[in-house]
Amino acid sequence: MHVPLTLVDFLDRAATVYGDRVAIVDEPDPPGGGLGQVTYAGLAAMARSLAAALDARGVPAGARVAIVAPNSARFLAALFGVSAYGRVLVPINFRLNDHEIRYILEHSGATVALVDPDCEAVVPPDAVAHRLILGHATDADLFGRDDAAPRHAVTDEAAPVSINYTSGTTARPKGVQLSHRSCWLNAVTFGWHAGVRDRDVYLHTLPTFHANGWGMPYAATAMGVRQIIQRKIDGAEILRRIEREGVTLLCCAPAVVAAILDAAAARVARGEPVPGHGKVRVVVAGAPPPSRTIERVETELGWEFMQIYGLTETSPLLTVNRAPAEWDPLGPAERARLLSRAGVPAVGVRIDVSPGGELRARSNHVFDGYYNQPEETARAIVDGWFSTGDGGHLEGAYAVITDRKKDVIITGGENVSSIEVEDCLYQHPAVAEAAVIGIPSDKWGETVHAFVVLRPGFSPTPADLIAHCRSLLSHFKCPTGIELKDALPRTATGKLQKFRLREPFWAGRERKIS
């Protein structure tokens, strides 16, 4: 027997097994109004209603339906209401400007846009055939159709679920096509490795538009997990919700972890306890976090730290680093060092390193290709391996990311990992953010240069920070210059734009390496 793997499996199971259970606790008082608490039976009804509303507007199967919104209960309903019933979701980063959003709408061929009230200005009415503003004013039409019976069902697991546009740092974003099969397998694998169970309470701090929330909304739904919506990132508010809602699981980027640690330190200074000790699991990805940050999560917060690695193109899970029993006797610093690696291959994933030092992957949840960009697809998948663009190596079963391949600094014939130098800088108590690049050097070819944002109340000099690095690293790895900055350039999704830091140093040169 062969039954297609489609996303409706997760929703149908939740409605059947956990129908009366609270599925979603919506953000209180968002623009357009919140939905309060929604049960799993209610979530399934909302999804069917949205599908029927699209039917009523003549939106055919296979049509692209964009959504531009922060986290919300309506966004979670749209994950299923669009994709589980035959259409293709195009989640768009709501932090982009109107020109960037229009490009994605046009490139994807979206004919419908579901728009949060806060985002009306960046999605003009003429951008799509149907611009639908989410909120109480449209709830009855979109999510309140009683006994809705959607016209379309997905019968092919290779059918697309979504087109997720990568943020890009040097070019236009590319549309990553993810299928029902790839998203289904990613969600089940992720849920297995993270130990998701029906007693969990999941806090949505990760933007849902980002690789479909890494697939965690699908895994959480399948297991009947109570899902708490957080619209904006605020460390203190995250801790309050963990305390109030009994949160046990969240996913986020390192910057969010830093905000949580700062908020926790402020609570301790006021004599207040840090919630979640011994109960919370935090899954981190997006950049290799400094080992000192990992150590603080486990010692100051008392939370379990897990690191995963992957890309939008891989649905996104490739590797998982969750401390095994063999590490239990280790001290906090050594345990953190081991957890700072990208991790071991997830179930069903093969990891390899190319002759050029680039990590490659094979799995059932690698993407189907870039939308309408076959040349880019051919460059990304070669001989059955997906090229990640990340430089690294293997330590036994563990993948270690040493840099974006183009970011490796070669100084005096020695390779230097900018991540290693950044990790060293982060261990200085004054450093809030750090970025390390290679700049031209007549003597060494390239030399190591750093940009640092200081924490409030600290005032070390660049010389102090260089001395700190020289106390911990081989001297050839240490910065020869450090610039103090108020902020570092980032994309709308928070990715560091190192190319902007490099440009002034390499301007006018034929090559960007020496």
How confident is the model over 304-339, as pLDDT tens digits?
999 999 999 999 999 999 999 999 999 999 999 999
CA angle at residue 89 from 209 to 111, to 5 degrees?
Answer: 120
**Cα 48 to Cα 308: distance, rounded to the nearest angstrom:** 33
Residue 478: φ, ψ to 5°: -80, 150
Q: What is the pLDDT of residue 246?
A: 98
- Residues 347-357: tens digit of each pLDDT: 999 999 999 89
Would you say 382 and 389 are in contact if contact means Cβ atoms under 8 Å apart? no
Enumerate residues 6+ apart whose C-beta is below 8 A from 137.
Answer: 32
Among 1-5, 182-186, 219-223, 508-512, which stretch is predicted with the lowest mean pLDDT?
508-512
CA distances to 163, 198, 274, 372, 378 from 375, in Å: 17, 43, 50, 9, 5
CA distance 285 to 342: 9
Give residue 40's pLDDT band: very low, low, confident or very high (50, 70, 90): very high
Q: Are 48 and 56 in contact (CB under 8 A)?
A: no
Asked whether the predicted pLDDT for residue 512 surpasses 70, the reply is no
Give which of 427, 214, 435, 407 is closest to 309, Cα–Cα: 214
For the stretch 369-389, pLDDT in tens is 999 999 989 999 999 999 998
Q: Please state which CATH number belongs to domain 349-403.
A: 2.30.38.10
Q: Using the predicted structure, report yes or no on whether residue 172 has a pLDDT greater than 80.
A: no
Query: pTM (2 decimals)?
Result: 0.85
Hey, is 369 helix, strand or coil? strand
Residue range(s) in the chain whose domain bears CATH number 3.40.50.12780: 1-194
% of the chain exceeding 70 in pLDDT? 97
Average pLDDT, the chain: 93
Residue 351, phi then psi, degrees to nearest 5: -120, 140
Tens digits of residue pLDDT in 278-307: 999 999 997 777 899 999 999 999 999 999
Cβ atoms of residues 257 and 426 within 8 Å: no
Report, as an integer, the average pLDDT of 120-127.
Answer: 94
Strands (E), 79-200: 88-92, 112-115, 130-133, 160-165, 175-179
Residue ranges of the chain assigned to CATH 3.30.300.30: 408-506
CA gap 307, 309 in Å, rounded: 7
Please tell me the predicted confidence (pLDDT) of residue 58: 98
For residue 24, the model assigns a pLDDT of 98
Q: What is the CA angle 38-46-85, rounded to 5?
A: 140
- pLDDT of res. 96: 83
Alpha carbons 109 and 274: distance in angstroms, whole number:
47
Residue range 1-194 forms a domain whose CATH class is alpha beta
The answer on pLDDT for 442 being more than 90 is no
Instruction: For residue 436, give the nearest of 449, 447, 424, 445 by alpha carbon.
Output: 449
Find the mean pLDDT for residues 216-222.
98
> What average pLDDT does this structure show over 38-60?
98
Contact 320, 344 (CB under 8 A): yes
Cα–Cα–Cα angle for 151, 163, 23, rounded to 5 degrees: 65
How buried is residue 508: exposed, middle or buried, by Cβ count under 10 Å (0-12/13-18/19+)?
exposed
In this predicted structure, the answer to whether residue 25 has a pLDDT above a threshold of 90 is yes
Q: Which residues contact 220 (CB under 8 A, 6 or more apart)?
A: 191, 196, 200, 202, 227
**Which has more confidence, 136 or 514?**
136
Residue 60 vs residue 166, higher pLDDT = 60
pLDDT tens-digit readout, 452-495: 999 999 999 999 999 999 998 888 889 999 999 999 999 877 88
pLDDT, greater one: 495 or 427 = 427
**What CATH number is given for 408-506 in this structure?**
3.30.300.30
DSSP-assigned letters across all residues of 179-248: EHHHHHHHHHHHHHHHT--TT-EEEE-S-TTGGGGGGHHHHHHHTT-EEEE--S--HHHHHHHHHHHT--
Q: What value does the mean pLDDT take over residues 427-443?
A: 91
Instruction: Specify the DSSP class assigned to residue 97.
Output: -
* Exposed e or buried b per residue across 401-412, where buried means at least 16 C-beta atoms within 10 angstroms of its C-beta: bbbbbebbbebe
420 CB burial (10 A radius; 0-12, 13-18, 19+): middle
Q: In terms of Cα–Cα distance, which of 89, 144, 83, 150 is closest to 114?
A: 89
Please tell me which residue, 472 or 246, carries the higher pLDDT value.
246
pLDDT at 463: 97
The whole-angstrom separation of Cα 510 and Cα 507 is 9
From-to residues of CATH 2.30.38.10 in the chain: 349-403
**In whole angstroms, what is the distance from residue 13 CA to residue 23 CA?**
13
pLDDT, position 167 = 59
